[in-house]
Amino acid sequence: MSRRFVRVRETYASGRGPWKISRLIFSSIASSPEKLSTSPPRRRGRRRQPECDGGPLNEALVATFPGGWSDVREEIKKHAESLGFARARVTTPEPSSRFEQYKAWIEEGKHGEMGYLAREDRLARRADLDLILPGLQAVICTMTLYWPGKKGFPPASSMHAAPSSTTLGPSPVRPGHSASKKRGVISCYSWGEDYHNIITPRLKALAEWMHTRYGGRGRWYVDTGPLMERDLGERAGLGFVGKNTLLINEHLGSGTFLAELLTTLPLPPETPRKKSGGCGKCRRCISACPTQAIHKDGYSIDARRCISYLTIENKGSIPIELRPSMKNLVYGCDICQQVCPWNRWSWPDNQPKTLFSPSAPSSPSTPPFLPPSASSLKLSTPVLADLLRALKSDAGFMKWFTGSPITRIGRARMLRNVAVAAGNSGEGGGREGEEGEDGEELLAVLREVWEEENDEMVKEHLSWAIQRLEGEVESEEAVREAER
């Protein structure tokens, strides 16, 4: 097998007219499918997506199947499931029919600081997937379930972020339950191991297996690619895009990660759903969103208002007017999924392919609803005072979150988020007998952390929290005083 770099010329049609670039790609020439090259070495300063090259198509093998490439597609889907994907379906390489909506969204600035979404070269790739993988014939869209199901959420007493009156789904807080002021809430997709570390090897294994067998080339993406993943998934028949903008599978709900394998194998596309309207008249996600990030008619998000953006993507200060609505959500947000009726039926009790349980993050066969342990609560509903103390140092941050996708945002952003939750902890009804104590303890820790913190942006959030709690503690003291 010989390997070489090849210079390719690409022409992009962008708003400013066509322009050309040339770049080096690593190409592997394999004399037989067995001699396969994958994942060429990364070049410094430039992130390359994995590529897999199995050489010429193995038409002789395909001819042995009565249904030809359709049978091959079914075999590939089965193999994908055996690797742990909950679903895999195939669509055409055409761009999303909603590309114009995407561009309008960018022009309105709704992507906030996520500049990569607006980059011209990435827009060009979104509009023409052939630029990502020349000769592309099909896209294999996969779904991996992470939703822990009703029994997978920590006890209601440890959470107070979810709305109660609108809750239908596997909400951690049900009407009538008290809630803790002491804890923060982390989105359930991050309770386990970083999903990139789990899904990427699976996609790579799928690509290697199928390109070794049938030849052709492949390239895969887990979240990071310039693809309109939900639209491709919808077209492949994985589900429908709901008003909360997420791709909802009729059996699995929306608590799934999407990931794609682009291939030059001529796999026939599957029949897409004829209509997307699975929401009917429901508007629960729109009403439940604490920051009104979802458009009043649904199907579009203003990322700048979304708590997921504010706590994860946003590198700077969190707008003061939005902080109180964030309650105790310290990383991501599940609310528009918790209230969705489609997630009510998506208990993964019979889904051995679920990956993400707080107690056993990466075992595909572990039931997802293990009783939460002390260590799992640290990753799902951490005690704010303990986390604040840990976040005084990078070492403390890494110790708490090693292996979790949360390490991607770094200590400062996480401390900023936890400060906001601490500032909000005076609200929302605490557990009986704990009023006042929580606030006083948190106040002391916040002051201690403020003293030692050097990052001005983080200090401002700590000050905000201190001021808010000072008011709260003072008013609680006044009430107690009045009662004496």
Q: Which residues are catalytic?
A: 223
Bridge partners of 5?
26
Contact of residue 243 among ligand SF4, ligand B12, none (CB under 5-8 Å per partner type)? ligand SF4
Contact of residue 282 among ligand B12, ligand SF4, none (CB under 5-8 Å per partner type)? ligand SF4
Q: Distance between CA atoms of 398 and 134, rounded to whole angstroms?
A: 40
Residue with smaller CB distance to ligand B12, 79 or 122: 122
Residue with smaller CB distance to ligand SF4, 155 or 341: 341
Q: Distance between CA atoms of 161 and 286, rounded to whole angstroms?
A: 16
The CB-of-309 to ligand SF4 minimum distance in angstroms stands at: 7
The CB-of-336 to ligand SF4 minimum distance in angstroms stands at: 3
Residue with smaller CB distance to ligand B12, 67 or 109: 109
Contact of residue 342 among ligand B12, ligand SF4, none (CB under 5-8 Å per partner type)? ligand SF4
Place of tokens 């895969």: 220
Q: Given the rule CB under 6 A, which residues bind ligand SF4?
A: 242-244, 279, 282-285, 289-291, 293-294, 298, 301, 306-308, 333, 335-336, 339-342
Residue with smaller CB distance to ligand B12, 122 or 389: 122
Contact of residue 341 among ligand B12, ligand SF4, none (CB under 5-8 Å per partner type)? ligand SF4
Contacts for 18 with CB less than 8 Å, ≥ 6 apart: 11, 12
Q: Distance between CA atoms of 371 and 376, rounded to whole angstroms?
A: 9
Q: Given the rule CB under 6 A, which residues bind ligand B12?
A: 96, 98, 101-102, 105, 114, 117, 187, 189, 223, 227-231, 241, 244-247, 254, 256-259, 276, 299-301, 303, 306, 308-309, 313, 332-334, 336
Instruction: Provide the token pair at 314.
Output: 């946003």
Neighbours of 365 (CB within 10 A): 9
3-state secondary structure 271-339: CCCCCCCCCCCCCHHHHHCCCCCECCCCCCECHHHCHHHHHHHCCCCCCHHHCHHHCCEEECCCHHHHC
The CB-of-443 to ligand SF4 minimum distance in angstroms stands at: 27
The CB-of-313 to ligand B12 minimum distance in angstroms stands at: 5
Whole-number Cα distances in Å, 127 to 13, 96, 200, 264: 9, 7, 24, 18
DSSP conformational letter for 269: P
Of 327, 56, 420, nearest in space to 212 by CA? 56
Residue with smaller CB distance to ligand SF4, 62 or 161: 161
The CB-of-112 to ligand B12 minimum distance in angstroms stands at: 8
